Amino acid sequence: MTDPHANALLQPWDGALGAPPFDKVRDEDFLPAFETAMAWHRDEIAAIAGEGGPATFDIVIAALERSGAPLARVRRLFWTLSSAQGTPGIRAIEGQVSAMLSAHGTAISHDAALAARVAAVHDARHDAGLTAEQIRLVESSHAGFRRGGAELAPAQKARFAAIDARLSALAVQFGHNVLAATVDWVLDLGPNDLAGLPAGLCDAAAGRAAAKGRAGRYHVTLDRTDYESFLTFSARRDLREALWRAFTDRCDGGAHDNWPVIAEMLALRQERATLLGYADHAHYALEDSMAHDPAAAADLLAQLWEPGKRRAAEEAAELQALIDAGGDSFALAPWDWRFYAEQVRRDRYALDGGALAEHLRLDAVRQAAFDSAARLYGLTFTRRTDIAGYHPDVSAWEVGDATGALVGLLFTDYLARPEKHGGAWMGSLRVQEAMDGDVRPVVYLVANFAAAPPPDTAATRLSIDEARTLFHEFGHALHGLLSRVTYPSQSGTAVARDFVEFPSKFMENWIVSRDVLSSFGVPDALIDAIRNAGSYGQGFATVELISCALVDLAMHRSHGAAADPRGFVAAELERLGMPTEIGLRHRFPYFTHIFDGGYASAYYSYAWSEALDADAFEAFLATGDIFDSALAARFRDEILAAGDSRDPMDSFRAFLGRTPDASALMRARHLVDA
């Protein structure tokens, strides 16, 4: 066994503000660190399971919460680097690490003596003098063991373990395929191919080409930020189509084909759900969500789908008329929609996306997010140049409150790099908890914004959608930073999947507000244009999002989708009447949310959380001040601070005094009359 004193990954983090020892991380240390940390955790579990005394909250549940701390540190550090700074050494062991963690977790869930002690605490929970927070933790722990297969017969447990191990391996394979297919392709352009493109995109594309020894050329990648910007502004229809096809054809056949991976994952998810007594994977996945049942999720999506399609049809007709008026004879296609919609915004609403991006410099938008948190919650953000990240692009920020007390540590990593997974996300390296003292959180934000060369956050320009993304992920970070719970498994973003996107969607409202936009020099005319254009394009946006959610839900409710997932998706889209001019936001062969993330059956969560967000933000608008201090304090205390210490519906009721009004989402998406 590895000498713990020789492996830096096994040591407590003693960096400033609890920062991990990024400078001491060696790829080759991870596997022995995992082996040792798992052995330590197994010893702790054996002691809890074998305790001879009565099964009480402190002896069983609290002890479980304290157990595995070194393993948690190694695990969080590994997956942070795997997603944001994946070296060849880390990529090579991802599958092995995933298998080790899956087997370790399953063994704990299947420990009969431990499960019995958890069940005993659960049976006596209402007579043990526990707080509401403790009762919820007991119930969550008990449900976790049950959902992990603790109540299965021995042969079923063995099959369950095999399924979980295989699903973990397939998820890693799926993600590797997507990453490989994304980085393997580039659109190589010359100076005559840049018509319509904004300066920021050209600068970033030139920098990428120069870095590959192609000075004077321009490289556009399959990162979503490049993709959406190019389709919005490029006047070259042939190049828009080439990029669209390359983006949407990823992993749909060829060397990185993900359809066989999807088929096997669907079959295994269904088998696991059946083993546990659920009708299908969707019922299994949604049991502990706010929706609780797939029918409730489907009902919300159905309320949006037909109005969204009607509005999209109106928009499509208008865009086709614009094409025809320009003397062209082609039919509107998916690679045309963003380009002509941008013309409508520019001509009708005077919203020039390229001009707006000149004001939306990355550093300014990041500072605007910090300033918004300062006005809402009294937070301060101080750059700590003495705290190193895992890459030179990473910045460290000490977060304090209005009294000067430490809130936590935030790392930001915003610029695109080939070794990153695509998209944007927030994660926790250390969660807030207060079991044995006040532990402050360490969280990080990652995005893939196309950098101005050399990597320069002050010069990097963002689109309004990218600025929303920055604020969205910052909302997740605030959820982690402002958590105030006792137990680590209830901390911050460890909430129901259809609640976790609520604080992040909510934060997006501030980036399009007059107060915030004017703070970094956006002219009044452009701010007015953004506000006036807010209702435009909601048909497209609704159809693009809701179609993915509907097919995801249907796929995981079906017992036959695994036989031919490609055919199932095509048939389901035909049944729904999916407009051919609008593509899925995420085609399933690269839909990492569903097959390399936690959103299987739950992509609807974005719409559900958006309904909560729309209702909550209407309350702020009603005060006449979106920075209303009393309402902000209540949101902080009842939503952000509460974590999973109570049912999320109870948290929402505590904030607004009632259950959510789903019609607020129809108003926010301007679909009331559609």
Instruction: Determine the residue type at 600.
Output: A
Residue count of the chain, please give it.
674
Residues 244-274 as b/e (b if ≥16 CB within 10 A, e otherwise) read: bebbbebbbeeebebbebbbbbbbbbbbbbe
> In angstroms, rounded to a whole number, what is the distance separating the alpha carbons of residues 27 and 255?
27
- Measured CA to CA, the distance from residue 178 to residue 184 in angstroms comes to 10
Q: Given this model, what pLDDT does residue 51 score?
A: 87
Q: Calculate the CA dihedral of residues 372, 373, 375, 380 and round it to 10 degrees.
A: -120
CATH code of the domain occupying 361-493? 3.40.390.10
Output Rg (C-alpha) for the chain, integer angstroms.
25
Mean pLDDT by 10 residues, the chain (674 residues): 75 94 95 98 97 94 98 98 95 96 97 98 98 98 97 98 97 96 95 95 94 96 94 98 98 97 98 98 96 96 96 97 94 98 95 92 97 98 97 97 97 94 95 97 96 89 95 98 98 97 98 94 93 92 97 97 98 97 96 95 96 97 97 98 97 97 93 83
Cβ contacts of 525 within 8 Å, gap of 6 or more:
350
Q: Which helix (H) or strand (E) holds 401?
A: none
Of 545, 563, 544, the closest CA to residue 611 belongs to 545
Please tell me the pTM assigned to this model: 0.95
Hey, which residues are catalytic here? Answer: 473
383/213 Cα distance (integer angstroms): 34
Alpha helices in 398-537, H assignment, sequence order = 464-481, 497-511, 514-519, 524-532
Lateral strand order in the sheet of 425-430: 380-383, 395-400, 406-415, 442-449, 425-430
d(CA 448, CA 225): 7
- Stretch (H or E) spanning 443: strand 442-449
Q: What share of the chain is helix, strand, coil (3-state, %, to 5)?
A: 60, 5, 30
The two three-digit tokens of residue 221, written as one number: 């990648």
Q: Which of 502, 513, 508 is nearest to 479 (CA)?
A: 502
Do the Cβ atoms of 526 and 359 come closer than 8 Å? yes
Backbone angles phi, psi at 435, to 5 degrees: -70, -45
Query: Could you give the dihedral angle defined by the CA atoms of residues 316, 350, 606 and 301, in that order, rounded to the nearest 10 degrees?
Result: -30
The pLDDT value given to residue 396: 98
8 Å CB contact between 487 and 433? yes
Single-letter amino acid code for the residue at 502: F
DSSP state, 22? G
Nearest to 602 by CA among 475, 492, 500, 471: 500
DSSP letters for 589-610: GG-HHHHSSS-TTTTTHHHHHH
- φ/ψ of 188, rounded to 5, equals -90, 115
Per-residue pLDDT at 454: 86
Q: How many whole angstroms separate alpha carbon 13 and alpha carbon 409? A: 13
Q: Give span(s): CATH 1.20.1050.40, the chain.
A: 8-151
Q: What is the 3-state secondary structure (H, E, C) of 89-120?
A: HHHHHHHHHHHHHHHHHHHHHCCHHHHHHHHH
Q: What is the reported pLDDT for 673?
A: 82
Burial, 672: exposed, middle or buried (Cβ in 10 Å; 0-12, 13-18, 19+)?
A: exposed
Tokens of 395: 């910045």
Please state the CATH superfamily assignment of the domain spanning residues 8-151 in this structure: Endopeptidase. Chain P; domain 1 (1.20.1050.40)
Q: How far apart are CA 258 and CA 182, in angstroms?
A: 13
> Does residue 657 come out as left (phi exceeding 0), alpha (psi in the -120 to 50 range) or beta?
left
Q: Residue 564 corresponds to which amino acid?
A: D
